[in-house]
Structure 1
């Protein structure tokens, strides 16, 4: 019988099944293996989680008091988180602060199991877009694990431990308990740990009383207390507060109108340090914190809780003298500010620092302000350049009269003027120019030596502030900080050798092991002879006719220095063999100074210098080799004859002294370079000065 149709021949079902059997057997075997592997992985994961569940969390590190010590080994400050941490239950923390913290730190805190996978993915995308670490994705639990049990080093082993401790925290504690521990542990700056201590520090109230605006402000600080503390940078703090408020509005926690109103609210902060005495040298102590953390890399957690000891260069006697001089140098009730910094030129040690008149109300350290023009106090750097080049000597002369200078290949002009338009309208030499602070002489000098050479000298002396090679540089028109000026003048006092300023001598850990030890570099800038000649010239500032003469009676020891006055700033930067000190006075907002206000820098300098060195016998500046003294005629700048009526003993670098004798008075002169008579008169002059200072 024929099969119907012309279709394909179909195999029997049994034969078809037989062909599929090997494939089915392989598939079943694969499924068994996969299932077994999954079971093993599941059992391993379950075992690991069970191990973490039964394993006790490590004890959190016990905080120890860290100390800051002065040059005599006495404690001037302590750092200890426990001294300013007050743990409170979560219910005693304002809900605004809780919501603000979660909004900015961990919006899915109550939904994840310790790790925010969505947040990690979002951060990865943002970081990939910017090709940098723009966003992090650490949850509150991860941050708590890190703060409680680990250091902040960035290593894979630390990250692995952090992950393990995060899982354990989630297993051992409820979400509210984790959040409570976090808000009582986190650092809010200025020694305040936890919400309660922070609320008391910034607003003088309990954490439960915080408003929405205050809560948003506090919630922004832990990300970077140095940058977001309202005491350190109000603009940064306010910008971050508004970011948090907007984030809360975007997440539906608060209304947009409430966010806007809170952001516009003017907050009232408790003056920093008002809860306890600011103590000695508060600006210096802040500077030490900055150097330790930002410059030397000491971890803030270690600084606050690690029991370290920071040995500093602060001289308590000098610091007291500085604080008293500033306090008494400006009348009570005046808004005028002041800054003083004093460095031992022989060692580079920062001995005293006053960054303002009242630390409690304003923590801005004006010692490091780079917005103040030094005026004529910058001129010694110019004159040192001229002496070093050999372009000028102490008897080089220029006419003190209104002058228009041309520069830039004749395309530009510059017409400086003297203070109160006072000119001699005759020739003056460098000593006279420094004593009277003649601007015309200074600009003539910089035109001769070249402005760029002056900038190069300033850089060698440690001044890093921006400058341009213009004629006006001679008059100190480019801002520098008091710290830079004190360091530069310290080089003059130290025979031309600059020693890097040092504030921290040594840092030891809790076991006494040295974490850091200062090794300040000593760099010769100019030879000792040129530095000595400049010092001799700058002593004239305190002689009769000098701009510092009015305070000369207050200082009973040899001293050299230079005043500087602009419309808004007044300076006196000077030194003895033991101390180089810069004093600035002015207004924070650049208000113009009255004549009386401009005269306050010099008395502060004098009062400080004499009191700080009260126990130190007066010393003359050491006379180095390569210096000669000869009698000169100030009118001609030549060697003085025996009968010259105004002959003056002048100091020169050997080989630069005049050789031509003034013949105006009809004699040949006998003041040979380095003559014994000149040396004897120089020595006699020193002793006469010392006796006069002692009798005063």
Structure 2
């Protein structure tokens, strides 16, 4: 007897020591949690499953409706705050009824014991399991206050099916957070954990079990809450709940993107910047567009809307149908890398304006030119000749854009893309001058960020998708405010697609500064526009890269862009000029020659206004329109002006390369007549512009085959003044031949480095060098 008492005392001492020394266990954070993605107004977009395929959201006790807490304590453990985690008397009664009299199975689990069972997944249908549960409950009570244990219970309790925790249950069944539960809702959920299979609110057959239990609880509830007796009618009605299958699955591409790198959250609630109304509108507009154009092979499209003020994404549709495997609908078109076609050209022009190479009315040459081994072509395979920078960008001419990129100083266009954070860039040499023509691949998010930078005065800022994310206060400057405004001011003059007939690109009275892009092989059609405080980007194509001649930016993506602008930007009266504070910009408007974009000379008949950046924009007096004296007797150009004998006549002195383009286009020009024979060479040489050698190029090394003469020929070409007929070529001061001013001279090369000199028929000269290396 004494020995037994001693053993019992020792065991009790060991149990007491274990209780005192046991470590503090983790509670509900031990289990993975779901994330509830909501839109900017708090509307649920998607509730994700936790890693163990359960719906489980953490909710602090203070954010749970008090009526739910009171109902749970009343139903599960009314003496919760008065026992040490285990109710000894209740356990004794349960043990006697279950194991001694065996009349029926009775439970006596306190909330602490239930937390222990849920936390450690204890099977309590055996005595050993029950003892383990009791010890764990005592351990929890040893380390945690009662409120913390109650909080853990409400976050771990089963509420039917794979739903655990009151926050997930409230969100799934009633589409509201746990702090907004009504008394009938609270009492209905309070009885579920005791029998989550039979009382599952989403099971039609389980309603009778749930109904009986909650009516029993309500009878006890009104004893202490008599004012709620008026709610009796609610407990006689069926419970209106949303089953888990009815949970929303909105904005799937964005949610999947965020899930790949889950944002930090203390309670699993992720407040996105998305506006559900805008999202649903965007999806509907895309579906309608694809349905209308299906006969042309247009089956897929993607789009996004970005608020330029806050840099928040307000809508994103990564494909026309997320659930359509035929179009690979689950691919996210907003993050896929695709060729942008000409959609990057505006940034070449903006950078060129910042570097003082052009202003909007600068004359550019849309004419053939070879850059080493690269010969760019226009989309229509035609040439316009002289064209203003404004029109070259609006008409999306490839040759002027490539020429501008070639002229850019450091940082070049590649450097701008690097600074803008364009991902997966290869070395600059890989792209060459094709960089601005769609040679680089970008994502829609990157492209939208670049256009938002134009609207924000040249500052690039990160795109925000989750509310509360800290954005860079000022961003990274990639362009000046002046160049940004001038670029948007040009793009606003881009005429709308034919499906939206109006003289200017306007929607709902708002100006639209927009650009299109068509990738090589008609694989991608792009349209992106800035209007009011919104950037909308649109892509049309196939995720498998299959081309379709219908995939042209203006006709395939442009109409969708304008449909989205009409649906998402209803405000009226916005102008591009509203984006800038002109008092803080270094900008002026000046009169320029309408033909050349230069300061009008005495003989310029037509002028127009152009924006100009003082101290940066290139400006010089126009020399194309010149007055020359004409000999009345011969009709030839006189050597000097003699009043009364040699009247002045105005001619256009276009460079020889542009003259050739005019002739190719069938345009007849009034070229200046040649000098009379009496005019000496010195007088003729001083009356115009010297030739500029365009081939060979000094920066290249020409590697030629040495065994065949025809493979050793290099073309000599130069741009000469408009009055030049012939060019004479010299290599190291040795005459090698002559050619018409618009024709090449083919020189048979030899190994070495040589000085190349060209002299026009008026004695004006230019020169370059050429390096030749023979290979076999």
**TM-score, normalising length from structure 2?**
0.48
Partner of 1:340: 303
- C-alpha RMSD of matched pairs (Å): 4.8
Unaligned runs of 5+ in 1: 1-42, 88-144, 150-161, 174-184, 195-272, 407-412, 507-516, 667-696
Partner of 1:68: 37
Which of 513, 517, 527 in structure 2 is aligned with 1:572?
A: 527
Matched residue SS, 1:331? helix
Partner of 1:77: 46
Partner of 2:364: 398
Residue 69 of structure 1 deviates from its aligned partner by 2.9
CA-to-partner distance for each residue in 1:644-673, whole Å, 9 max, x for gaps?
Answer: 66533322223326353679499xxxxxxx
- Per the alignment, do residues 649 and 491 of structure 1 end up closer, same or farther by CA in structure 2, a change over 3 Å counting? same
1:638 aligns with 2:586: no
Matched residue SS, 1:563? strand
Which of 445, 448, 463 in structure 2 is aligned with 1:501?
A: 463
Partner of 1:584: 539
CA contact (8 A) 2:46 2:248 kept: no
Partner of 1:4: none
CA contact (8 A) 1:429 1:634 kept: no
Take 1:439 and 1:384, find their aligned partners in 2: how far apart are those partners?
A: 16
1:601 aligns with 2:554: no
Q: Aligned runs of 1:278-293 on 2, under 5 Å?
A: 279-291=249-261, 293=262
More displaced 10-residue stretch of structure 1: 544-553 or 414-423: 544-553
CA-to-partner distance for each residue in 1:297-341, whole Å, 9 max, x for gaps?
Answer: 45xxx7xxx4x4322211334323322321122236556321112
- Per the alignment, do residues 551 and 529 of structure 1 end up closer, same or farther by CA in structure 2, a change over 3 Å counting? closer
Take 1:368 and 1:147, find their aligned partners in 2: how far apart are those partners?
A: 45
Matched residue SS, 2:493? helix
- Per the alignment, do residues 461 and 648 of structure 1 end up closer, same or farther by CA in structure 2, a change over 3 Å counting? farther
Give 1 or 2: higher helix fraction. Answer: 1
- Per the alignment, do residues 630 and 546 of structure 1 end up closer, same or farther by CA in structure 2, a change over 3 Å counting? farther
Which of 371, 378, 391 in structure 2 is aligned with 1:432?
A: 391
Partner of 1:386: 352
Partner of 1:375: 341
Partner of 1:350: 313
Which of 483, 505, 513 in structure 1 is aligned with 2:445?
A: 483
Q: Aligned runs of 1:61-210 on 2, under 5 Å?
A: 67-79=36-48, 85=54, 149=119, 172=129
Take 2:375 and 2:497, find their aligned partners in 1: how far apart are those partners?
A: 29
Matched residue SS, 1:443? helix
Residue 401 of structure 1 deviates from its aligned partner by 2.2
CA contact (8 A) 2:355 2:409 kept: no
- Per the alignment, do residues 435 and 286 of structure 1 end up closer, same or farther by CA in structure 2, a change over 3 Å counting? same
Take 1:626 and 1:482, find their aligned partners in 2: how far apart are those partners?
A: 32
Take 1:165 and 1:654, find their aligned partners in 2: how far apart are those partners?
A: 79
Partner of 2:470: 518
Matched length: 435
Partner of 1:414: 374
Take 2:501 and 2:525, find their aligned partners in 1: how far apart are those partners?
A: 12
Matched residue SS, 1:393? coil
- Per the alignment, do residues 620 and 439 of structure 1 end up closer, same or farther by CA in structure 2, a change over 3 Å counting? closer
Residue 453 of structure 1 deviates from its aligned partner by 1.6
CA contact (8 A) 2:251 2:317 kept: yes
Take 1:45 and 1:398, find their aligned partners in 2: how far apart are those partners?
A: 96
Which of 536, 556, 561 in structure 1 is aligned with 2:509?
A: 556
- Per the alignment, do residues 555 and 657 of structure 1 end up closer, same or farther by CA in structure 2, a change over 3 Å counting? farther
Partner of 1:612: 568
Unaligned runs of 5+ in 2: 1-10, 57-114, 131-154, 165-242, 628-776
Partner of 1:445: 404
Take 1:443 and 1:565, find their aligned partners in 2: how far apart are those partners?
A: 16
Partner of 1:244: none
- Per the alignment, do residues 277 and 83 of structure 1 end up closer, same or farther by CA in structure 2, a change over 3 Å counting? farther
Take 1:85 and 1:396, find their aligned partners in 2: how far apart are those partners?
A: 64
CA-to-partner distance for each residue in 1:265-292, whole Å, 9 max, x for gaps?
Answer: xxxxxxxx9955764322223333344x
Q: Aligned runs of 1:3-14 on 2, under 5 Å?
A: none
- Per the alignment, do residues 56 and 583 of structure 1 end up closer, same or farther by CA in structure 2, a change over 3 Å counting? closer
More displaced 10-residue stretch of structure 1: 435-444 or 529-538: 529-538
Which of 579, 595, 608 in structure 2 is aligned with 1:648?
A: 608
CA contact (8 A) 1:394 1:430 kept: yes
Partner of 1:365: 332
Give 1 or 2: higher strand fraction. Answer: 2
Take 2:127 and 2:495, find their aligned partners in 1: how far apart are those partners?
A: 72
